[in-house]
Each structure stands twice: as structure tokens, then as C-alpha cells.
Amino acid sequence: MLFSEAMSTGFFNLAPLVVLFPGIGLLFNMVFGGRLPEKVVGWVASLAVGAAFVISILLAVSLSAIHGHAEIVSVTEWMSIGSLHLDWAFRVDTLSVAMMLMVSGVGTLIHIYAIGYMHEDVRFKGDPTRFQRFFVFMNLFIAMMMILVSGDNYLMLFVGWEGVGLCSFLLIGFWYDLDILGRPSLENAKAANKAFIANRIGDFGFLIASFLIFTYLGSLQFDLVFAEVEHVAQPVILTITLFMLLGVVGKSAQIPLFVWLPDAMAGPTPVSALIHAATMVTAGVYLVARSAPLYGTVPAAQEIVALIGAVTALFAATIAVAQYDIKRVLAYSTISQLGFMVAAVGMGAYAAGMFHLVMHAFFKALLFLSAGSVILGIERGYHAMSHGKKGHGFHHTDDEVFNPNDMRNMGGLKDRMPVTFWVYLAGTLALAGIPPFAGFWSKDEILLDASLHYPVVYWLLTAAAFMTAFYMGRQVWLVFFGKSRHEAAEKAEESPRIITAPLVILAGLSVLGGVLNLPHFHTLGHWLEYTLGELRISEFSWLMAGQATLIALFAIFLAWLLYGRREQAANEPDALKKLLGPAFVVFEHMYWIDEGYAAVFINRYKDLARFLAEVIDGRFWHDWLHDSVLAAGFGKLARFLADPVDLGLIDGIANGLADLTQWVASRLRRFQNGFVRSYALSVLLGVVLILGYLLFR
């Protein structure tokens, strides 16, 4: 009785706990973590996120008990300035709860994995004290992400948005002073800066959009904003949505701001999995879904979003086929898959987009974490190898080029790391869209919707899907099959259970996740309809599904032809390179986008900064205006005045306001002479002045 009552009402009041629990975890670890063993620190952090997951489940249960009506849990008044009234309020509806479940669920698994991963990583890099810091940042991230998805107004969303951006920066630059082998290097810090700055551009767009929303729609609270939409002119909404889109392309790494995400892989692998694959980067998708009432009224904005997503999906997929770094392939794959989601929500297929978001969280987290396991295995092998050679230490100077992330150094890991291999295969099939794996169902739904409404998007996405299957096939063959191409790979070892256990769970989700939204049932779609209103849900088509499957299978077959049939030798150029020639080089170098940005924007910006600093500030302001005109002129004036006018006065002015105030102060100070009689006199003087004023005014 009590429980059922609580289910329908009481649990909603627990909503703030989804932020509070990770907050407590981070405070605890921040204060006590330094003195506690690693295990405790890691488990406290994991439990904090796990507790948030339990709360999310309770919220979901109680939400379905009241048929998905949005519930708003207000904690306190936040600010009230003029006509701006904002509460610190949590919005519990089907969309936010779906995100909460995904964030805390996947987050818990990644936290547990990180206990094992970071244990080895901090030792490999030679600074075990950073273990605690890592989990503090991770809990902070979860708290911020929860604020992002559960806030009831755009400003709270923005707080979370900036908060996760900060965590991303902190964690990309986690080894800010070391490179991948623990040698001094500033590359990671640069990658962190790049991510932060690219996101600034996006955040600028989001902020402008928020300002416009407040100006034209009169509030920042979701319900009030959406109720106002129809009373506002179309061009205004279009402007708002386009500025918001700038935020989306920044956070979700779409063209043209995607350049930060590949470099963000500098962070430890759990970070790549959690922040740069499963959760934070999907915030842009969430933002569009959340703002569906805004986008729904301007088809032009929707089309732009869909096109950007589709083009990004294909563009990033082409780059992914030519990468050697195991995490970089996954990074471009993430950009590409985010493109799928953005295209889906842009087309108005919110159910499909959110479905793919959740599925992608499962299998991409799995892939990243397995890649981390592979890297750890290689590092262990490398360690063993150098140990054998030198008997101590593993920081080579003669082996500068070794990169544990490079797939050219791998090969044949199938037998050395069997668990990792099998889960990686599950993730690969899910990502490639092979039925009945999770990715098949969600990707199929996006493609189906696109084929019915946006043919151009459909063709772009289909091409991207083909590429996806190909680069994943290439990766599996390069990493796991054939012979080891480096001694380190030969000596690689399987990871401990604390690392493989979360992998197995995620693999299970990647295999079976599709049941969440099977054709005909559309569980997730109908669940989201409570929040987003009537959704367009396309019925399953055998033709489309068959077509997509065949394309994926053909791509995998191609990958086998190139990489599986005949073994790659250690120093041989890539098989695809032989086939594609210059095109491969273009892909490999990411279309020279980084260089192009550097030439067009960054170097121009630096030129401008240098111009401002050297010419305007240095030569014009300092040398000419300040020194020649002001200082020299003043000098002349002073010399001129020095003869006729008292020197002390000139000094006073020349030394500026600072001395003047000090002088006034010291004059005033004289009255403070310590005698009661003069103090009383001052009081009396005040009385006389006041009464005199009253008398003579």
C-alpha cells in the first residue's frame, strides 16, 4: 500500500538525489580520498553513480504509474530579477528519465571498469596519486550531466552543459604533462584546450539562443517557452534554432566544429567511453529533442539539422576507414554515429534518434572500453617485453615510435585476449548494423524514416552505414586476426575481471538492447510520446531492413577481402591505400581540415592577436600614443609647469589618482587624533550642520 502510494507520488521528490549522490561521492573522495585505498575511492564513486541509477529506475517506475505525465520537482527559487523568475527545478518526464537511466546506467559500468583501468594506467604513467583525482572528476561529470538532462529550464541545462564541458576539459587533459607512454609532453593539454575552445564557439551559439528565447518568448522555463512558440514570428524561431544548432554542432561534434573530438581521445579510455561517446556528446541530440516544439515549427531549421547530421555521418565515416589509431577510428565512428542521431532528430524522427542514442551508448561504450582493454593488454606486453630486454623500467629512449594505440602494432590478439575479442565482436556487429544486434534496429529505423521523408539524407546515411561496416571489419581483422606485428602484441595479456565484467554486461546490452524498441511494439517510442507528443513512427519494412543488412554484409566482406584473406605484414602499407591511392591519403589526413582551420582561422587569429599586441598595443598605443604623445607631451608640459608652479602639485597629478586618494586619506586621518574632545567636536559639528541645513534650506 505504502509502496504503491510512494510509487505514484513520493518518488518524484527523490529527483534531486540523482545530482546529489554523485555530488556526495565527489565531496567524499575529494576530502578523504587521499588517505583511502584505491579500491575504496573507486567503489565509493561507482556506488554514488549506481545510487543515482537506482533513483532513475524509481523515477521511471513512478512515471509509468502516472502514465508519463511530466512532474516538476522544485528545490528552491534560483533567481528572480525583473521578469526573469527561475527555480532550481528538476523535470522528470519520459525524455529526461530515459537520459538519466542511460547516463547513470552506462556511467556505473564505466566507473567500475575504471577502477581496474586507472589502477594500471596510473602505474604505467608513474603517478598513482592521480587515481583519486580521476574519480572526483568522473563523479563531477555525472552530477553535471544529470543537471543537464533533468533541468527544467534552459539556464539549468546550460549550467550542466558548461559543467560537462569543464569535466571534459579536465579529463582530456588528465595526463596534461605526460604523453601516452608517460614521457613529459604537453600534447594532451593542447588537446584539452582545443576541445574547450571549439566548444566555446558552440556555447556562444547556445547562449545567444537562450538570450533570444528569453527576449522573445519571455521565459527560460521549458513549458512556458513552448506554450509561447506559436505567438512568435517564424524568422525569430528560425534564428533561435540556428543559434542553438551552433551549440549542438559544438557539443555533439558535427561539421564544422567536430575537430575537437578525435583529439579528445587523449583522455584515459573510460573518459572516451563515458564522455566522448556515450553521454556528453549526445547532449546536442538531447537539446534538439528537448526543443522539439521549437524545431517543429520551422521546417527549414529541421532540414538544415538533418543535412548537417547526414553529411557529418558520411564525412566522418570516410575518415575512419583510413585511421591507424584504434581509438581514433572509434572517435570518427562516434562523430559519424552522432551524425545519424542528429539527422534523425532533425528529420523529426525523435523516437528513432533517441533510440539510436541509447543503443549507441551501449555499443560505443563497449567498443571504447574494449579498445582500452586492448591497449592495456598491449601495454602489459610492452612492459613484459622491455622487462625481458633490460631487466628494469620500461621508458625506452631507443623505442620512441612505439604507440600502444596503433593498430599496425597489433594483430592476432584473438587468442591472447579472448574475452576482449568476443565482446569487441559483439560491439562491432552492433555498430555495423547486423541483425539482431542493437545497432541494427535503431539504425534501420533512422534509415527507414529518411527513405520515406528525406531521400538525400537517406542516401548519405546509407553510404555512411556502408563505410561503418567496412571500417569496423577492417579494425577487427587488423587487431584480432592474423599474426602479431609487434613484440608487444605477442606478449599481450587478457585484462583482469574488474575490467572484463562490465564489458560482458555491455556486450549483453549491445546484443539484446534492440528489444527496447522492436518494430511493431515501439516501446521507447511510445514512452517518449508522453513528453514529445504524437511521434512519427514508421512501420518496419522488410525491404529496407534486408537492403541495409546486405550492404553491411557486403562491406564486411570487402574488409575481409582486403585485410582478412591475406595477412598484413608489419611494415607493409595499408591494403586500402594500395586500392584507393591518393583518396586514402586524403582520408588519412582528415581532409587536412585541421591544417585548413589553422590556415584560415587559427593563424589569422594569431596574426590578428599579434597585430593587436605588437602594432596596436605595442607600437601605436605604447610607443607612439603613450610614450611619444602622452608621456613625452606630459613630460614637456611638466617641465614647462615645473618652473612657475609648485613642484609638489605637479608630482601629485603625475603620480596619479592613487597618490591623490592616499593624500586625501592622510589629511583626513589627522582628525583622528585620539582625543575624546575632538571626537565630540566632530559629532557636534555634524549636529550643527544638519540642524543648520534644516534651518536655512
Partner 1 sequence: MTTPVKLLDFITILPVIFLAAWACLLLLVDLWVKHKRVTAYLAALGLAIGLGLLWYQAAWIGNAGFNHMVVLDGFSVFVNALLLLSGLLGIALAYGYLRRMGIERGEFYPLVLFSLSGMMLMAQAADLIVVFLSLEFLSIPLYVLTAFAYPKAASEEAGLKYFLLGAFAGGFVVYGIALVYGAAATTALDGIIAAVAEGRANLSLLVSGAALILVGLGFKVAIVPFHMWTPDAYQGAPSAVTAFMSSAAKLAGFAALVRIFALAFSSLSDDLIPILWGLSALTMLVGNLLAIPQTNIKRMLAYSSIAHAGYILMAFTAFGNPGVAEVSIAAVLFYLAAYTVTNYGAWGVVILLERAGDLGLEIGGYAGLGRKYPALAACMTIFMLSLIGLPPTLGLVGKFYLFRAVIAADLIPLAVIGVLTSLISAWYYLRVVVNMYMRTGDPEISPEPWALTITGLMAILTVLVSLLPGWLFFLASQARLNLF
Residue ranges in contact with partner 1 by CB under 8 A: 76-80, 88, 661-662, 664-666, 668-669, 671-672, 674, 676, 678-680, 682-683, 685-687, 690-691, 693-694, 697
Using CA atoms, how far apart are residues 365 and 272, in angstroms rounded to an integer? 8
Name the DSSP letter for residue 309: H
Using CA atoms, how far apart are residues 74 and 79, in angstroms rounded to an integer? 13
Using CA atoms, how far apart are residues 437 and 508, in angstroms rounded to an integer? 10
CB-wise, 215 or 672, nearer to partner 1?
672
The CB-side HSE value for 690 (13 A sphere, CA atoms) comes to: 6
Using CA atoms, how far apart are residues 471 and 575, in angstroms rounded to an integer? 12
The least CB distance from residue 174 to partner 1, in Å, is 23
CB-wise, 27 or 558, nearer to partner 1?
27
At 267, give phi and psi (nearest 5°).
Answer: -70, 160
The least CB distance from residue 46 to partner 1, in Å, is 27
The least CB distance from residue 662 to partner 1, in Å, is 6
CB-wise, 2 or 683, nearer to partner 1?
683
CB-wise, 523 or 682, nearer to partner 1?
682
- The gap from C-alpha 581 to its chain's centroid, in whole angstroms, comes to 34
CB-wise, 150 or 484, nearer to partner 1?
150
The least CB distance from residue 215 to partner 1, in Å, is 21
Locate the DSSP E strands across 469-527.
none
CA-nearest of 246, 507, 283 to 373 is: 507
CB-wise, 300 or 691, nearer to partner 1?
691
User: Do the beta carbons of residue 45 and residue 135 sit within 8 Å?
Assistant: yes
Q: Is 433 helix (H, G, I), strand (E, B) or coil?
A: coil
Q: Is 391 helix (H, G, I), strand (E, B) or coil?
A: coil
Q: Is 573 helix (H, G, I), strand (E, B) or coil?
A: coil
User: Do the beta carbons of residue 528 and residue 451 sit within 8 Å?
Assistant: no
The least CB distance from residue 146 to partner 1, in Å, is 18
CB-wise, 523 or 661, nearer to partner 1?
661
- How far CA 330 is from CA of 243, 260, 277, 370, 418, in Å, comes to 29, 14, 9, 11, 20
CB-wise, 88 or 175, nearer to partner 1?
88
At 73, give phi and psi (nearest 5°).
Answer: -110, 105
Q: Which amino acid is at 684?
A: L
The least CB distance from residue 656 to partner 1, in Å, is 13
- How far CA 687 is from CA of 608, 672, 691, 692, 695, in Å, comes to 61, 18, 6, 8, 12
The least CB distance from residue 650 to partner 1, in Å, is 23
CB-wise, 4 or 662, nearer to partner 1?
662
Using CA atoms, how far apart are residues 159 and 16, in angstroms rounded to an integer? 15
At 78, give phi and psi (nearest 5°).
Answer: -95, -60
Three-state SS for 503-564 is: HHHHHHHHHHHHHHHCCCCCHHHHHHHHHHCCCCCCCCCHHHHHHHHHHHHHHHHHHHHHHH
- How far CA 648 is from CA of 542, 638, 639, 667, in Å, comes to 95, 11, 13, 15
The least CB distance from residue 658 to partner 1, in Å, is 8
The least CB distance from residue 141 to partner 1, in Å, is 20
**Residue carrying C-alpha cell 587478457:** 494
Q: Is 90 helix (H, G, I), strand (E, B) or coil?
A: strand
The grid coordinates of residue 132 equal 583519486
CB-wise, 2 or 668, nearer to partner 1?
668
Reduced DSSP (H G I as helix, E B as strand, rest coil) percent helix, strand, coil of the chain, to 5: 75, 5, 20
CB-wise, 33 or 564, nearer to partner 1?
33
Q: Is 70 helix (H, G, I), strand (E, B) or coil?
A: coil
CB-wise, 569 or 690, nearer to partner 1?
690
CB-wise, 521 or 671, nearer to partner 1?
671
Q: 76-83 long-range contacts, Cβ below 8 Å, gap at least 24?
A: 78/155, 78/156, 83/218
CB-wise, 86 or 367, nearer to partner 1?
86
CA-nearest of 377, 561, 386 to 484 is: 377
* Residues whose CB is less than 8 angstroms from the CB of residue 480 and which lie 6 or more positions away in sequence, other chains included: 410, 411, 412, 413, 414, 421, 424, 425
The least CB distance from residue 150 to partner 1, in Å, is 17
Convert 182-202 to b/e letters by CB count within 10 Å (16 or more is b): beeeeebbebbbbbbebbeeb
The least CB distance from residue 670 to partner 1, in Å, is 11
CB-wise, 156 or 212, nearer to partner 1?
156
The least CB distance from residue 27 to partner 1, in Å, is 12
CB-wise, 233 or 665, nearer to partner 1?
665
The least CB distance from residue 169 to partner 1, in Å, is 20
- How far CA 401 is from CA of 203, 408, 590, in Å, comes to 37, 12, 21
The least CB distance from residue 87 to partner 1, in Å, is 9
The least CB distance from residue 591 to partner 1, in Å, is 43
**Residue carrying C-alpha cell 559544438:** 250
Using CA atoms, how far apart are residues 164 and 360, in angstroms rounded to an integer? 19
The least CB distance from residue 32 to partner 1, in Å, is 15
